[in-house]
Amino acid sequence: MSPEGGEGGEGQADGGRGTRLQVLVARAGLASRRAAEDFVKAGRVSVNGKAVTELGARAMPGDLVTVDGKRIEAEARKLRLMLNKPPGYLCAMSDEFGRPLAADLLKPAVTERVYNVGRLDLESCGLIFFTNDGPFAAKAAHPSFGLVKEYEIETDRRLHATFGAQFEAGLEADAEPQGAKEILKAHKVLQRGERSCTIWLAEGKNREIRRALALFGLKATLLRRVAIGPVRLGNLPEGRFRELSADELGRLEEAFASSKGGTR
């Protein structure tokens, strides 16, 4: 094991300095790079039997790296998948109540351990990414990389005439969990009918659309995500998945590079 001696790109073993532990954890498909850093800080990662809590620590080729006592190895195949999640499926790796998991829809075709990028709540449906590529997950999930998400909404009652304008301007609501206030703000709202609209979010908060509707006494009878940045759901059937195409990955990388996060 070696200490960090400065940034080394994406953690390639160069100059005999090894690879950063959080990079190894992310490449093993256990978590995104940001979550992998939390693994290290919590002492869950060990090198040659010794727990390491320093984010700068690196492992050398031949070192035994474990997470929670289990040896990790980088996945041989990097996957970037898109799933059309049906309502009633949970975006989590496990559930104590035994509810259906969106990740299970990838089985048995996907044997690698992949995780969802962001979330759709239990009753929402539509486009969500799954991956074992930590750097891709970090960019796709972080607001600074500018992926605007598009949602189709249908409501139980007529939309208020000023709903779209007020949501775009910003709505004050109780934060989740409770205890503070926060602003719910849409990037854009386009009303398509008396009970339907399309909403674009630049920085989604927890259940943001449902909470905004609730401020007007409304409930969503359909909440479907149809696009993440340049990637559209298209005609992918509900409950099915596919790999992102080379063209889609290229357009995502262009979006990342042109964003605030890509120019830091």
Please identify every residue annotated as catalytic: 121
**Phi and psi based region of residue 213 (left: phi greater than 0; alpha: psi -120 to 50; beta: remaining):** alpha
Contact 185, 167 (CB under 8 A): yes
For residue 3, give both structure tokens. 């200490």
Contact 159, 131 (CB under 8 A): no
Helices (H), 142-232: 163-169, 208-214
Cis check for the bond before 108: say yes or no (omega within 30 of 0): yes
Rounded CA separation 113/127 (Å): 19
**Phi and psi based region of residue 157 (left: phi greater than 0; alpha: psi -120 to 50; beta: remaining):** beta
For residue 169, give both structure tokens. 């301007």
